[in-house]
Amino acid sequence: MGSMQAAEPRSAKIPTSLGNREESLENHRRACALAANGQYDGAAQLLADVHASAGDRGLQALAGNDLGVLQAVAGDESAALAQFDAALTIDPDCRPARTNRQYLSERSDSPPGRPGEDNRRTRIAVVSLLFNWPSTGGGTIHTKELCQFLTADGYDVRHFYAACDSFGVGRVSQELPYDSLPIGFDERSWSAAGVRERIREHVAAFDPDWVIVTDSWNTKPLLAEAVGDWPYFLRIAALECVCPLNNVRLLCEDGRLVQCERDQLRHPDVCRQCVSTNGRFSGGLHQAERALAGFEKPDYSERLQRAFANAAGVLAVNPTIAGIIRSHTPAVHVIPSGFDRSRFPEEITPPPRRKGEKVKILFAGLVDELMKGFSVLQSAAAKLWEMRQDFELIATADPPGRVNDSTRLIGWQSQRDLPAVMSDADIVVFPTVAQEALGRSAVEAMGCGRPVVASRIGGLPWVVGDREAGLLFTPGDADGLCRQLNRLLDDAELRRRMGQAGREEFERRFTWDVVLESYRALFGPAVNTGGATDRGTVEGAFN
């Protein structure tokens, strides 16, 4: 059967196990030989024996897969699907079973007629290396929702993500609402060559029209090499590939935080020296990811340049990042993260306050992560408290309870609950000291119709706008932040106007309804109606 994939009868493909292994291996080889010669009944009997007696789970799953192939040859595709599912239950890494199940599922979903004719859905592969779910990371949330909303828009989307427990990636504990495929790795296969080969193999089985490379930092060249046979886009969610140290170009010199303006696309030697000097201060995942990427090897800079040069384009979150990258790639598209409109309230009227009730100032972020700037906000609140006591600073951190007279923690808030918490606030503060690309909490505050006080850094001026959806201040300047908060505390009408302006900008630029228009412009219609090229099928092994 030319479109199905049977196991290769080679012992090197099968892990060692119990004492009857050699006998089972020999029976599996004989079964494959019989099937290749069209003797399906004899092959089925031998495979059933292997499936029942093999103590090796890998071999048992392969035999089950081959039984499924024979059932598909006989025309019983529902039984074949059940057999592939059973094989994957025994061994989730059984590649032939996964590939064959995918193929039959796509056949059943295809419209009548030969595959590749009219009405074929545009296929998009989304490839992630550093994906876990659920997650609070803005880039990861965007990837999940990107797959979800592209699928809902009619595209044929498959999300391929690496799963390696020792590396801490691919941990998905909630069901993803779209087609996804974890690519399993153990410590032996978790290497640059292993990642490149296995991702290429799985993407090839899907044979997409387009690929989006996301959820990766310095490993973007590695993933670009894996998917280089297809037109691909690199999504830049922060300043990854620009700053190999920590993705935000933030340095600490003599106890002071310093903003770096270099980028490794133009200054590779400077950035390499910076990592050599400061790399031990970046997080463990950053260090491990650089090692996997081959960052220290002499050819890394050349590979990085090639990944950008060979891309169909780069998807940048804001115009500043687009400007940095523009000369290194054929095309740059500014496409911000999308936001699910259904999460946000229809009504954005400021919360009613009883006479004497304090105005609520909200910080929604990690209070113990230096770059988020909560310490700056605390200093500003202390200065403000000396002037007036008609406000309360609320932070989404644990444990819930009062910190001091002006500050209260309310516990960490889920993505589901956060809009309600923001709607109950009067002002939302985003006091980051790092060059963040977007500022997800700032956009969410705008979606709730609340004014934002944010640092004048990274993508925040583009998102918030000074005196439009909120007020800006110099990063790290507690006095400046205090002045802006004081101004908003004194003017409820200004808070209302800025909240309304923010909501209008949110509707105009950041909802998925709007963001999807940019992806449609890149990928064309979700369904091709003009006779697309043949997608091909998986190569058979019983031929």
Q: What is the predicted pLDDT for the residue at 64?
A: 86
3.60.21.70, 3.90.190.20, 3.40.50.620, 3.40.50.2000: CATH of 121-335: 3.40.50.2000
Q: What is the predicted pLDDT for the residue at 38?
A: 66
Return the exposure string of 489-526: e unless at least 16 CB atoms fall within 10 Å of the residue's CB, then b. Answer: beeeeebbebbbbbbebbeebbbbebbbeebbebbeeb
**Residue 339 scores a pLDDT above 50:** yes
If one counts every other C-beta atom within 10 angstroms of the C-beta of residue 277, the result is 11
Summarised one tens digit per residue, pLDDT across range 429-472 is 999 999 999 999 999 999 999 999 999 999 999 999 878 899 99
Query: Which pair of structure tokens corresponds to residue 360?
Result: 């609520």
Domain boundaries, given as residue ranges, for the chain: 11-109, 121-335, 343-514
Identify whether the C-beta of residue 317 lies closer than 8 Å to the C-beta of residue 438: yes
Q: DSSP labels for 68-94?
A: HHHHHHTT-HHHHHHHHHHHHHH-TT-
CATH number for the domain formed by residue range(s) 11-109: 1.25.40.10
Angle between helices 492-509 and 512-523 (to 10 degrees): 30
Provide mean pLDDT across the span 504-515. 96
CA–CA gap between residue 271 and residue 265 (Å, rounded): 9
Query: Which pair of structure tokens corresponds to residue 183?
Result: 């690519």
User: What pTM was computed for the model?
Assistant: 0.76
Task: Give the position of tokens 């977007």.
Answer: 438
Pairing of strands 527-528, 120-121: antiparallel
Query: Which pair of structure tokens corresponds to residue 373?
Result: 């700037």
Longest dimension (CA), the chain: 90
Whether domain 343-514 has CATH 3.40.50.2000: the reply is: yes
Q: What is the predicted pLDDT for the residue at 107?
A: 61
**Residue 543 scores a pLDDT above 80:** no
Domains 11-109 and 121-335 share a fold: no
Strand partners, 291: none
Return the DSSP state at 234: E
CA–CA gap between residue 311 and residue 301 (Å, rounded): 16
Across the chain, mean pLDDT equals 88
Strand partners, 429: 363, 453
Higher pLDDT, 533 or 302: 302
CA–CA gap between residue 202 and residue 162 (Å, rounded): 11
CA–CA gap between residue 45 and residue 352 (Å, rounded): 75
Q: What is the predicted pLDDT for the residue at 241?
A: 95
Q: Is 285 helix (H, G, I), strand (E, B) or coil?
A: helix
Summarised one tens digit per residue, pLDDT across range 80-106 is 888 888 888 888 878 888 888 887 776
Q: What is the predicted pLDDT for the residue at 4?
A: 47
CA–CA gap between residue 43 and residue 28 (Å, rounded): 9
Q: What is the predicted pLDDT for the residue at 162?
A: 97
